[in-house]
Chains A and B, each alone.
Chain A
Amino acid sequence: MADGGLWRRLLRLDRRWIFVLVGLATAVPLLFPVNLPVTPTPRVQAFYDAVESVPEGSPVLLSLDYEPDIMAELQPMSIAVLRHCFRRNLKPVILTLYPAGPGLIERALAIASEAEGKKRDVDFVFLGYKSGSQSVILGLGESIRSMFPEDFWGTPIDDIPLMANLNAYADFPLVINLSGSAIADYYIRIAATRYHKPLLLGCTAVMATDYYPYLSSGQLLGLMGGMKGAAEYERLAGLFGDARRGMDAQSMVHVVIVILVILGNVALLTTGGLRRGPGASSGGGSREP
């Protein structure tokens, strides 16, 4: 080769080959699952234990704040948490602060309630969407009724027996927020800090590291991060859902990336780095398609 062998060619690898590898690493494990085992981490175990510690029959406030873009990570969490609550005969009161959230939550509720044999307005209440994120979270501390006079399907809150004695954070032994945004910060500041409510958080994997300080400060009792967190929760709850199914694919994609990164560095060392060869100054001399 005029410009220097296999390693140099690797440094110039067209990114479309990487896309093909990632595509295969995602598709093959989904088509032929091996069901890799999942070991729960202490944070997810703490999340699970907190739900377990709520007395049977108690209401739980669930704020499911995400839209379809991150449903791959948070929808399995919602289903797993809802099913766990239903199995423990807890009464989830669910709301969302995202306008495109209700469709996903309706779906999660349908899956979880059908699987566990629970009924709307008897075993759970879905309050729907309300705009104004921070002010709604603050308002939930004073009056749920002023924030949500009706449920998602238009039934007045006062006509739902399950809501008879529920009107603020104080009436719930536990608040759970599954969020893909800064709404989680508001729940920490308001529900956990101002109203002293035990709070559990589920979030995307990239967000999770931001919330570790709140675990050590006690403002969060448990933390579930990304699909891995959801898979751990599914395992603890004895479920086999989309998160555990997706872990094979996620594992394979990580392996592909790690191998590519290692090969890229070996190529860098072997070829003498970026000092030689045309087009090498962009960190590998890639040709964009």
Chain B
Amino acid sequence: MRQGPFVLTFLVGAMLIAIFFIPHYRAQQVQTQLLDWANIVYAFALALGSISLLVLHGNKVRAGGSQAKYSFVTVAALVVITVAGVVQGVEEGTLVNRIYNAVNAPLASTMFALLAFFIASAAFRAFRARNTEATLLLATALIMMFGRVSIGEFVWSGFPPLTEWLLDVPNLAAKRGVAIGVGLGAVATALKIILGIDRSYMGKA
């Protein structure tokens, strides 16, 4: 019975690889059907995730303690947003839209904006010319920081072309190597899963 999921994984994996190379409309119909199934699975995953979140934080609220208030906010937000979205919809002027604009958008933006402060602090402490490699990194970082903003041109007209060269030559070479390596690794991993060599997705290595 435990062989069932592996056989299914092999059949679906092999079929999708084959379909990729078969332009015939029958193959495309099979793919469309599989995509419909995938969307149904996604919908169930969403429901499962929501239930799991409710149960987890519901238990934390019931257990009490100093962290319970945060769990209560999570549960309340999930329930209010879901009910309001189902009842009213999400268009302009609805409760969901107002909460989104007044709470979600400013909070998310603020969290991300804080990065600027921490990155500035980290740059001050990390970019130190301690050895040749660190000096190279420091010089590159300074060129990039000036070359990628408008004021860099005023400081020295050579900054933008130098930045372009850094991006187009050393960066491109490194990125291309990484991309090829990642691609080969992904193919190897996929083959291991399809052929049943890697069974960790079943919860067992």
A residues with a Cβ closer than 8 A to B are: 13, 15, 18-19, 21-23, 26, 36-39, 41-42, 67-72, 100, 102-104, 106-107, 110, 130-132, 135-136, 138-139, 142-143, 146-147, 152-154, 194, 205, 209-210, 212-213, 216, 226, 228, 231, 247-248, 250-258, 260-262, 264-265, 268-269, 273-274, 282-284, 286
**In the complex the two chains form, is A103's CB within 8 Å of B39's CB?**
no
Surface stretch bound by A, among B55-63, B69-77, B125-133: B125-133
The residue that B175 contacts in the complex, of A18, A212, A282, with Cβ under 8 A, is A212
Q: List 29 A-B contacts (CB under 8 A).
A: A18-B121, A36-B154, A68-B106, A70-B112, A100-B100, A103-B101, A104-B105, A110-B92, A131-B39, A131-B46, A132-B39, A135-B35, A136-B39, A138-B31, A139-B35, A139-B39, A142-B32, A143-B32, A209-B171, A212-B175, A216-B172, A253-B116, A254-B149, A254-B152, A256-B120, A257-B119, A261-B123, A268-B128, A274-B130
Is B13 among interface residues, defined by CB-CB distance under 8 A? Answer: no
Do the beta carbons of A146 and B112 come within 8 Å of each other? no
B124 pairs with A257, CB closer than 8 A? yes
Assess whether B150 is in contact with A213, with CB atoms less than 8 Å apart.
no
> Which residues of the partner chain A approach B116 to less than 8 Å between Cβ atoms?
22, 26, 253
B165 interface contact, C-beta 8 A = no
Q: Is the CB of B160 within 8 A of A39?
A: yes
Which residues 21-69 of B have a CB within 8 angstroms of A? 28, 31-32, 35-36, 38-39, 42-43, 46
Kindly list the 6 A-B residue pairs having the minimum CB-CB distance in the complex, ordered from nearest. Answer: A36-B150, A68-B108, A251-B151, A68-B105, A251-B149, A69-B112
CB-based contact A23/B168 at 8 Å: no
Residues of B within 8 A of A262 (CB): 142
**Chain A residues whose CB sits within 8 angstroms of the CB of B198 once the complex forms:** none
For A217, the closest partner residue in chain B by CB is B176
Say yes or no: A15 contacts B112, CB within 8 Å. no
Given contacts A138-B35, A209-B167, 11 further A-B contacts (CB under 8 A): A19-B120, A69-B109, A100-B100, A102-B90, A103-B104, A106-B92, A130-B39, A131-B39, A139-B35, A256-B120, A257-B119
A205 and B149 CA atoms in complex are apart in Å by 12
Interface centre among B109, B116, B141 (most CB of A within 10 A): B116
Residues in chain B near residue A216, CB distance under 8 A: 172, 176
With A18-B121, A104-B105: A212-B42 Cβ-Cβ less than 8 Å? no
Q: Which of A42, A70, A100, A273 contacts B104 (CB 8 A)?
A: A100
- Given the complex of chains A and B, what is the CA–CA distance between A9 and B171 in angstroms? 36
Smallest CB gap from A226: residue in B: B148
Contact A213–B123 (Cβ < 8 Å):
no
